[in-house]
Structures are given as C-alpha cells and as structure tokens.
Structure 1
C-alpha cells in the first residue's frame, strides 16, 4: 500500500467526528461530492470500508472506529500546538443554534444587537447537530436540553411549554370535533424518544392513540407537518409562537404543559475572555429576561418528567 496523504486522513477525522459530509465539506471549503470522493479514495487505498452511508449522515464501521482512535488524537495534538499562533478576533463571534430558535426567536432580535454594536461581526451556524468545540471554530451555542454538557459552561435562558397545534385548515375540517378531546383528531408522533403525547394524556386525561397519522424524525419536520395540515403536533411554544401570532397555527384547547428541557447558552472555557462573546452574552441574558417577563415561564421544578 502506498503512503496515505495526511490530508486524506485529516478529512477523514473531520467527517468521522461530525458524522455529516455537508458540514465537513463546508469546513474544508470543498463540495460534498469532492469530499465524498476523497473518502472513497481513502477506503480504496486502505482496502477497508470506513463508513456506512445513510440518508441522515454517515456512521463509522468497526474499521472506521479503529482508524479514528489511532489517528484522531495525533491531529488533536497538532491542532492544539498550532492554536496559540492563530490570530483571535475579538470583534467576530460565531454562534451555533438550531434553525427553529434562530428563525423564530434569535433572528428578530439580532438587528438591535448589531445596531448597538456595529463593530461586531456575527456569524450564525444553523444546525441541529451538537458542536464539537474542540474541533470547530465556534464560540458559543444556544442548546435545548437539561443543561448538562460536560466540560462546557451552561447558562439557563428560559423554559419551554408544549401545546397541541394545528393548521387553521385542519381545524376548519374538524369543526365538529371537540378540541379538548384529541382522541378523535389525527395526531403526529413527535421526534422525542420519550413521546410527549404520553405525558400530555397522562396530565390532561385520555389515552394516547394506538396509531399516529404520521411520525417525523425532527422538530422542524414536526412543525412543517402541522403547517401543511397533516395533523395535530405538540409544538414548542418558543419556536411556534411567531406562527401562532401570524395565524398559521392554532393552539387547540388553550392548554399547555411544561417540559423538563429548556434553552441554554453553552460555551467552552476559551470563550470566557472573548470580548465579542461578553457583549453577546450580556445582551442575550437581557433579551431572555425580557422574554420571561412577557411570557409565562415554566419553573424548572414543575416541568413534566
């Protein structure tokens, strides 16, 4: 076997850790097809299958895991050694967040921040994937969860409620059905591994359906399915409120349920002395506090299990 170029191995490490060709290609300034070709070239050189390719990304084979374990730490060492020589821009901030929280909550508020701080260059990464702060040039993230991310600073922003939401067209078609009795409505199974409909019926009474009209695998797909009139979804109020205010979604029965997850600002220790991060952090907490004053917030000790 001829010597494997280090560039191929480095790209392999990036793809393996991100589990996503599109994100790895973006970081490497390559097209997805070019990066995919490189990974196949590496497999051919090693005569080993390193990835299983699927519609939701790539996963490592046993051979791929072994290779990552062998070479990954060496690239980490190189990256760590070079990091001290890179220029750090304190007027530029890169934030990662899910498409839902960016479009519905963060984006409408950002113009005020950038107007007050025109010196700040703000870069948004819209993704549902968790950031690997050791590998990616990201300063902070807004994450949805329980606030437990090892090795990272995690600061509570605001809680979340869920409620059954549907398109007005579906509500009109189901005009003869009681919105407080969802047993006769078409329900969309949510992507949470602990189906929230079970929590909903346990709290408000009734039995979850034996069959859902559809199941989806992401929160964004769930919201889109409800918008298209496919059925009733349990929508997160933080990301659904703008659609409700615009009349594109309707809350059925005006009943809400707090959930144990909340929104957090998450960042690595290296971001603590970043001036742009300090400006953004102060602004974000002020905006979160104002949002909490305007909206009823679930207490963290009352959230549904």
Structure 2
C-alpha cells in the first residue's frame, strides 16, 4: 500500500534530483569545481544549486571558508542518505530499461537453501513470470533492509525483524546422516552410540545436537566435534566419512536417495526453528515480491 502521507509532504522537503545530485557531489568531491566537472555543469551553476537547496530546506548546509564550501556535520549525514537514494533511483532506472515488461526482485538467501532447494525450482517461477528478474545474494545473518538493496530475504530462525512482514515457509526437521561406509565402521544401534561418534556441527545451530539427544532420551548432552559455517560443506564432510551430520530433511533427502548418505539413527525430529520469507513493510506491494510470495507459498504448501 502506498504511503498516504507522501503527497502531503511540504514541497520544500521534496527537493529536485538535480539539486540533490549537486549537493551530494560537492560533499563527496570536496569542491564545487570538482562537482561541476563530474556533472558537466559550470562551477557557478553548482554553487547556485547548492544555495537554492539551502533556501528550500531553510537549513545551512555548508560553511563558506575562503571561497570553499565545507559541509556541516548535519549535511554530511544528509548526504549519506541522499547518496543511497540517488543510487536506488539509478539502479531502479537501469532495471526498468533492462526489463520494461516486469520488474526485479532482489532476494537475500541462505547459501545451501538457495542452491539445494530454491535454485532447482526457480526456473518454474521464471517460466510462469517471464517479465520478472530475480537477483540473489547470500546473507547468513539478519540485516537492516533500510541499509541494503534487498527487497526480501529467506531467513531461518524467528521472524522478529523490526518493521517487517513475513510468511512462514516450513518448520525445519532434522535427521542424523552419515556415509554408508562410516555406518559400517561405526555401528549405531541406539541413540547413545552417537555420543562416542565424531559429530559434525553447524555454527548457526549450536543446540541442534543437544536437542536431538534430548528427543532420543539421552538428556541434554553437550555436542563436540568439527564445526562448519554452512550446510553445503558439512554435507560434503559427511559424504566423505568424516562424521555424523544433523541435516534438515529437505537437504538430506536427495543425498539419501542418491546413496551418498544414509540415516545414522532414528527418524527426522523437529528442529529449532523455521524458514521464513521476510520483507520490509514499505515494500509489501512490490509486484515481483507479491508474485514470488504467492508462488513460494504454493511450493511449500506440502511442507507445512
């Protein structure tokens, strides 16, 4: 939904792009002469534009010292925000020119989720929405949408980001897996046998093994073993017989079907979080996001 207050904003708080571009260029380059060369304007024109902006905002942005303009601290902070806004406008314009029939969705993804679950399915979305372009970037931790270029993120954990909306994709279910040869060398007849087996741990799931042992009646056992920062590398370590990995069922299923891994012991259990699609409230009506959200809800309906 569009912001009903935008058009009631006083005109002086909506400076033209040309004035803002001149102001930002002076702050960044340090002089009206350098800004003029960059913008293909005269030095006098840049000086007048800066003066016009100050009059429009009714704020002094520069101190005049020996015919030089020195930005105030407030102007430096303002220039930082203006720079981001101008960059966003430029990127949006390039995206429109490159894809006038649709739109662009910039999506932050978890690396293994993106490569193992999302990537094989994306061609179906793109075929159904030929005008939409999706740009992917990896983020392991939560971030501030206001300080990024992302329209949405696929996140694991809790959907408690400020000023965002979300849709739950599915709960994580974890299964203990190992290589077939490893299973032959290390008989795992009961859950407690895993206490003496080499375990593979993930940095972002510090309590995963503890929860697994609790679920199998072993109490809150501390887990020790080799640590990984991504599931992808941990899966490869398990395939090469380096230990037992506790993997999300949706990632483990393909490896088990291919015979590269086998269940070490027991069935999949509930994990310690869920996967969510999260987006800033201000971008909820972005058409590519709305299309992607609807498609993603359909794709994960059987996993709820």
Count of residues in correspondence between the two structures: 228
| Matched ranges for 1:116-135 at <5 A | 116-135=128-147
User: As a proportion of its length, which structure holds more helix?
Assistant: 2
Alignment TM-score, normalising by the size of structure 2: 0.65
Partner residue, 2:165? 153
- Mark the runs of 5 or more structure 1 residues left unpaired by the alignment: 9-69, 298-305
CA distance in 1, matches of 2:153, 2:209: 28
Partner residue, 1:204? 216
Judged with a 3 Å threshold, the aligned counterparts in structure 2 of structure 1 residues 218 and 71 are, in CA distance, closer, same or farther, namely: farther
Please say if residues 187 and 212 of structure 1, whose CA atoms lie closer than 8 Å, have aligned partners that are also in contact.
yes
- Mark the runs of 5 or more structure 2 residues left unpaired by the alignment: 1-26, 31-74, 97-101
Please say if residues 188 and 264 of structure 2, whose CA atoms lie closer than 8 Å, have aligned partners that are also in contact.
no
Please say if residues 148 and 154 of structure 1, whose CA atoms lie closer than 8 Å, have aligned partners that are also in contact.
no
Judged with a 3 Å threshold, the aligned counterparts in structure 2 of structure 1 residues 236 and 71 are, in CA distance, closer, same or farther, namely: farther
Please say if residues 179 and 252 of structure 1, whose CA atoms lie closer than 8 Å, have aligned partners that are also in contact.
no
Q: Is residue 195 of structure 2 the alignment partner of residue 183 of structure 1? A: yes
CA distance in 1, matches of 2:116, 2:150: 21
CA distance in 1, matches of 2:204, 2:185: 28
* Cα offset, 1:231, TM superposition: 0.4
Q: Is residue 265 of structure 2 the alignment partner of residue 253 of structure 1? A: yes
Judged with a 3 Å threshold, the aligned counterparts in structure 2 of structure 1 residues 228 and 74 are, in CA distance, closer, same or farther, namely: farther
Please say if residues 107 and 151 of structure 2, whose CA atoms lie closer than 8 Å, have aligned partners that are also in contact.
yes
* Cα offset, 1:6, TM superposition: 3.4
Please say if residues 160 and 237 of structure 1, whose CA atoms lie closer than 8 Å, have aligned partners that are also in contact.
yes
Partner residue, 2:84? 79
Partner residue, 1:163? 175
| Matched ranges for 1:1-305 at <5 A | 6=28, 74-80=79-85, 83=88, 87=93, 89=96, 90-174=102-186, 176-178=187-189, 180=191, 181-192=193-204, 194-206=206-218, 212-289=224-301, 291-292=302-303, 297=304
CA distance in 2, matches of 1:164, 1:253: 6
CA distance in 1, matches of 2:128, 2:107: 18
Alignment TM-score, normalising by the size of structure 1: 0.64
Q: Deviations over 1:137-157 (max 9, x none)?
A: 221111111111111112111
CA distance in 2, matches of 1:130, 1:78: 23
Compute the RMSD of aligned alpha carbons. Answer: 3.1
Please say if residues 183 and 206 of structure 1, whose CA atoms lie closer than 8 Å, have aligned partners that are also in contact.
no
Partner residue, 2:57? none
CA distance in 1, matches of 2:170, 2:29: 43
Please say if residues 191 and 219 of structure 1, whose CA atoms lie closer than 8 Å, have aligned partners that are also in contact.
no
* Cα offset, 1:107, TM superposition: 1.2
Q: Which has the greater radius of gyration?
A: 2
Please say if residues 188 and 265 of structure 2, whose CA atoms lie closer than 8 Å, have aligned partners that are also in contact.
no
Any idea what SS the aligned residue of 1:254 has? coil
CA distance in 1, matches of 2:77, 2:273: 33
CA distance in 2, matches of 1:131, 1:218: 18
Any idea what SS the aligned residue of 1:108 has? helix
Judged with a 3 Å threshold, the aligned counterparts in structure 2 of structure 1 residues 263 and 99 are, in CA distance, closer, same or farther, namely: same
Any idea what SS the aligned residue of 2:146 has? coil
